[in-house]
Structures are given as C-alpha cells and as structure tokens.
Amino acid sequence: MRLTVIGTGYVGLVHAACMAEIGHTVIGIDLDTDRIEGLTRGRVPFYEPGLRELLHRGQESGRLRFTTSLAAAARSAQTHFVCVGTPQRLDSHAADLRFVDAVVDDLAPHLRGWCLIVGKSTVPVGTAARLGARLTRIAPEAEIAWNPEFLREGFAVQDTLRPERLVAGVLSPRADAVLREVYAPMLRAHVPFVSTDLPTAELVKLAANSFLATKISFINAMAELCDATGADVVTLADAIGRDARIGHRYLQPGLGFGGSCLPKDIRALMARAEELGLGESVGFLRQVDEINTRQRRRVVVLAEQLAGGSLSGLNVAVLGAAFKPGSDDVRDSPALAVAEEIHRQGARVRVHDPEAVDNARAALPWLQFTLDVPKSCEDADVVLHLTAWPAYREIDPAELASVVRRPAILDARHTLDAARWRSAGWTVRAFGRPKLGRDPGEGFR
C-alpha cells in the first residue's frame, strides 16, 4: 500500500520506518525543513534503538522518503496517518490540539475521492468526531479513523512491529478493511485487532496510561509508608505482584514517571472529564499526579539527609538525565527536575547520561554534564542514581569510592545491588527501604 505519515516526531518517524519495513511505500511529511533534510540524509533526530537501521533500509529499498509538501503527498496515497504532537496547553491541563486541527485543515483541500485519515496522535475523547465533521465539509468523500499508538520509548520499534494489540476506531467496513490490510503482517502473527468506535479508540490510550501511572504512584505511596514503619517496599511489591490480578509490571518503586506521555495524558483525561461534568469520576488521578511530583521532592530530602544537612556548597553527582533508560528524551525528566532543584539549593551539580547529555545541556545549560561516570562523581559528597540505565548496574562501587569525597549514594530507581555497594563502604539509601540506612546491629541513622 501507499501511505503517508504526517509528522516525523517520535511517533511518526517510528511508524513511517516500520511501515516501510513491512513492505508499504511510505512518505513522511513535516513542515520542519531542517528535519526533513536530515532524514533524507539518513540522520535520526533522536535516540531510539533499532530505528536508524530501519530508516536506512527503508530509504535504500526506495519504500521510504520524506518531503515538506503536503499537497504532493496527499495525491500519492489514499491512507494518511496523523502523528503530530498534542502537548499540554500552557494555560490548563487540557491537550493542545492546534497541530492536529492544522493537519486536517491543510490536508483536506488536497484530497480527491475516498481516502482515510487515520489519527495516531493521543487526543481527548470526541476529537475524532469533531475533526471528521470538519473534514467532511471540505472533502466530503474522505473518512476519519483513529488508531492509537502504544509505544514505549526504548522499545518503540519492537512495539510497532510486534505489538501486544492493535486498536482501530472506524466508521465503516471499508475503513476497517484498509487498516487490516495495513497491519496484515501483524495479524498473520496473531496480534489481536480490536475494531471499535471512534470514542472508545480515543479513550484506550489515555485510559491505559492513566492505569499505568496509578500503579506507579500506588507503589510509591506504599514506599512512603514503608519508610515510616520500617517495612521494605521491594519485598512488599514482590509479594503483592505475585497476585495474578495485580502482577509485577509497573510496581517498581522509585523516582516516578516523566516523559512526554504519562504526565500530560493523565492531566488531559482529567481536563476532558471536567468538561463533561465528570471530574469527580477521575479525581483520583489528581492524587496520582501529586504523588508522582512529590517523589522528586523526596529525592532532595533524602539527598540532604545523606549529606548530613544542607546541600549548599556541596558537590552532587547525578547519574541519569533522560526520563527513562533507552532514550535521550529529557521532556519532563524527573532526573533533571531533581538536578535543577539541587542546583537551586546551592549545590555544584554534575550530571552523567550515556545518551541524553546534549538534550539535557540544551534544557539546563547552567548545569555541568559529562559522558564519563568517574568524572561526574569526582569529589562528590552525594551520588544520586536517577535514571535506571543498565550501565549503572555495572559500576564497580569500590573503584567509584576512590574518586568521591564521601561514599554516599541514593538509589532512586531500586536497580543497584545495595549489598555490593555497602560492602564497598558506601552508605546506601532508597525509597521505602529504611534498613539500608543502617549497619547490621545499629539503630537508624
């Protein structure tokens, strides 16, 4: 099939490259001329494992190319995927739909005959129907559908080529058939295909992200209780996760969630519910959001405790800048939020990250950044482990102890071997594990 993908950001570029990989002819469209020029030359504008290879294969095969011309692309295909951003509005929790609206308004005049506009952008329920009405006024034969994405940064290629499920909100059997043809290789591999109405398809992504955020904030709330009572949140999470109704996934206590999806998606769902007069129905999401934000403040408090008081004038090493491992994305990064707050308190902050240093430096140029772990920890009074990159688990704590001023580390992601670090002479703290703060036979420090 011939497809266009409008928007070459994270979702759009991954989708375009993967659709070319499974045999479709794809044109990626973006108004950003620098981005299109870079993509045409094979440059991926962000880090995502496996994406560069897919981009190059698609271009070499001739199945993937890029342009800034929406009109030319519209004439080349009947199926158009809309993959532009829907960030949080500056004046409220609601989603900013300007870019989605603009795509429909700009694309519609170029459409001829029957065609399918497929939204992949995350939008409030009711958006597809509204856009469909606008589309029909300009291009009466065109049809709208909604096909939400469920990509995890760091696993986006895998999640596109081998998804857990496909959801399609459609208005007609013809639209359903087109999307089944688009995803035919996945359907042959027995990926579930959920065909539904537009509002259900729109709600699926926001509901899924809200549920995941709730699990994360729940276990972090339990970590606070464990800190207050002497219980161990890791053992607690393991025990409740063995209940098949609950499961272990997303029950990892830590610094909480960030990035471009979960925070803004739960807020967008709250905002839409309030517009519908149903704010009380999702009121718990406000607590989910507040617990998540509080985790960042708790890191600062624990860092102060490890330092023995004020952080002002101290050297603080931060391991991690990306909002999660496997990505160079620093949007709403909990790690950078903590680093910035500690800087505000007068500490000298040096940040390490294996992939996100350039993006982090652009966001917070007043901090120090390095690609070398020992350099980031040189003369540190406190080390904060804030992004769970696998490489940090391989650090030799004995070697690192030789470069710091004080061997004290806060493992805010619960992925380090605390016993190994303590045996190397480190004081180790972690959310919900108060016993890490004392030596055997001693009282709490």
Which residues touch 323 (CB under 8 Å, ≥6 apart)?
Answer: 153, 257, 258, 259, 329, 330, 331, 332, 333, 334, 335, 387
Residue 437 has a pLDDT of: 62
Instruction: Calculate mean pLDDT across residues 91-112.
Output: 94
Which residues touch 317 (CB under 8 Å, ≥6 apart)?
Answer: 350, 351, 352, 376, 377, 380, 382, 383, 384, 404
C-alpha–C-alpha distance, residues 30 and 34, integer Å: 10
For residue 143, what is the enclosing H or E element? strand 143-146
Over residues 275-301, the pLDDT tens digits come to 999 999 999 999 999 999 999 999 999
Query: What is the length of the chain?
Result: 445
Instruction: Calculate mean pLDDT across residues 221-226.
Output: 96
pLDDT of 439 higher than 50: no
Helix, coil or strand: residue 370: strand
Over residues 230-285, the pLDDT tens digits come to 999 999 999 999 999 999 999 999 999 999 899 999 999 999 999 999 999 999 99
C-alpha–C-alpha distance, residues 190 and 164, integer Å: 10
Is-contact 320 258, C-beta < 8 A?
A: no
Residue type (1 letter), 36: I
Which residues touch 315 (CB under 8 Å, ≥6 apart)?
Answer: 347, 348, 350, 378, 379, 380, 381, 382, 405
pLDDT of 441 higher than 80: no
> How many whole angstroms from its chain centre is CA 44?
18
> How many whole angstroms from its chain centre is CA 227?
28
Instruction: Calculate mean pLDDT across residues 89-109.
Output: 94
* CA neighbor of 323 nearest in space, from 370, 363, 286: 363
Over residues 301-342, the pLDDT tens digits come to 999 999 988 999 999 999 999 999 999 999 999 999 999 999
C-alpha–C-alpha distance, residues 97 and 238, integer Å: 40
Q: State the CB neighbour count (10 A cutoff) for residue 192.
A: 11
Q: Is the pTM of this model over 0.95?
A: no
Over residues 40-80, the pLDDT tens digits come to 999 999 999 999 999 999 999 999 999 999 998 888 899 99
For 242-347, list the strands marked E by DSSP.
Answer: 315-319
Residue 438 has a pLDDT of: 54
List, by residue number, the catalytic residues.
Answer: 261
Percent share of the chain, pLDDT over 90? 95
C-alpha–C-alpha distance, residues 66 and 37, integer Å: 8
C-alpha–C-alpha distance, residues 267 and 269, integer Å: 5
Quickly state the pLDDT bin for 435 (edges 50, 70, 90): confident
Is-contact 434 227, C-beta < 8 A?
A: yes
Helix ranges (DSSP H) in 364-437: 373-377, 390-393, 397-401, 418-423
Helix ranges (DSSP H) in 230-283: 233-241, 262-275
- The values of phi and psi at residue 74, to 5°, are -60, -35
CA distances from 372 to 322, 389, 405 (A): 16, 14, 17
Quickly state the pLDDT bin for 213 (edges 50, 70, 90): very high
Quickly state the pLDDT bin for 360 (edges 50, 70, 90): very high
What structural domains and CATH numbers belong to the chain? 2-196 (3.40.50.720), 206-288 (1.10.1040.10), 294-437 (3.40.50.720)
